[in-house]
Amino acid sequence: MSAVNLLGEDLFLWNEYRTGNADAFGALIRVHYSDLFHYGTRFTRDAELVKDCLQDLFLELWINRETISETSFVKYYLLKALRRKLTRKIGRSRYTGSWEELHFESLFSGSYPVENNAIREEGLPELTKKMRHAVSGLSKRQQEVVYLRYYVDADIEEIAEIMSVNRQSVYNLLHESLKKLKKLSGKASRFFLFLPLI
């Protein structure tokens, strides 16, 4: 998660890149690499494939720099492009073996969340675990929407753009997900209320 909103700097670098400034392009991909890689590896465990895709994407962006439009949402543009690239790449190897449609695999890299002191101090390990369980129970598309909303700070419109679906479906996916997470919190709170009685 890059913590700072880099809109202004992004736009500057983007415009510099479009005029052919390779250093600016390097800086631009340096800023976004981590997020792009993280997003890409939500679709496949093959980290090398994601790296290859990103290399191809960068090369294409460079080659096409003169025809690429000005965009103030550089990050979303890149995420969308990566998603499309992955779709094609994974689709490409398809006829050799089994199909592997571009499916958001999981929000989580597999490891459990850091159960740090903060969680324990606040008495939240139990609730955190349930929350995590509920998130894992969301459909892949719901997880992807939550991911983009949470990790990438994309709003409904941007998510729709990245995933190439309409806004209404993004809205529905997000709404359903949050409803599920809240249902859990309702149950959990009752659980917590009864706990002292036992």
What gap in Å lies between CA 174 and CA 75, rounded to an integer?
A: 21
Is residue 24 part of the contact set for other proteins (CB under 8 A)?
Answer: no
Sequence-distant (≥ 6) Cβ neighbours of residue 19 within 8 angstroms: 65
By rule CB under 8 A, what count of residues binds other proteins? Answer: 68
Is residue 119 part of the contact set for other proteins (CB under 8 A)?
Answer: yes
Q: Which two tokens stand for residue 86?
A: 């992955």
Q: How many secondary structure helices (H) and strands (E) does the chain include?
A: 9, 0
Question: Cα dist. 154→4, 79, 120 in Å?
Answer: 14, 10, 30
Look at phi and psi of residue 49 and say left if phi exceeds 0, alpha if psi is from -120 to 50, else beta.
Answer: alpha
- By beta-carbon proximity to other proteins, the closer residue of 4 and 197 is 4
What gap in Å lies between CA 195 and CA 33, rounded to an integer?
A: 46
Binder to other proteins among 88, 183, 187, 190 (CB under 8 A)?
88
Binder to other proteins among 7, 45, 185, 191 (CB under 8 A)?
185
Is residue 128 part of the contact set for other proteins (CB under 8 A)?
Answer: yes
Whole-number minimum distance, CB 11 to other proteins, in Å?
Answer: 19
Binder to other proteins among 7, 63, 137, 191 (CB under 8 A)?
63
Residue positions counted in the chain: 198
Is residue 111 part of the contact set for other proteins (CB under 8 A)?
Answer: yes
Whole-number minimum distance, CB 88 to other proteins, in Å?
Answer: 6
Taking 3-state DSSP, the helix, strand and coil percentages for the chain, each rounded to the nearest 5, stand at 70, 0, 30
Is residue 153 part of the contact set for other proteins (CB under 8 A)?
Answer: yes
Contacting positions for other proteins (CB under 8 A): 1, 3, 5, 22, 25-26, 29-30, 33-34, 37-38, 41, 47, 51, 54-56, 58-60, 62-64, 67-69, 85, 88-89, 91-92, 94-95, 98-99, 101, 107-109, 111, 113-114, 118-119, 122, 124, 127-132, 135, 146, 149-151, 153, 164-166, 178, 181-182, 185, 188-189
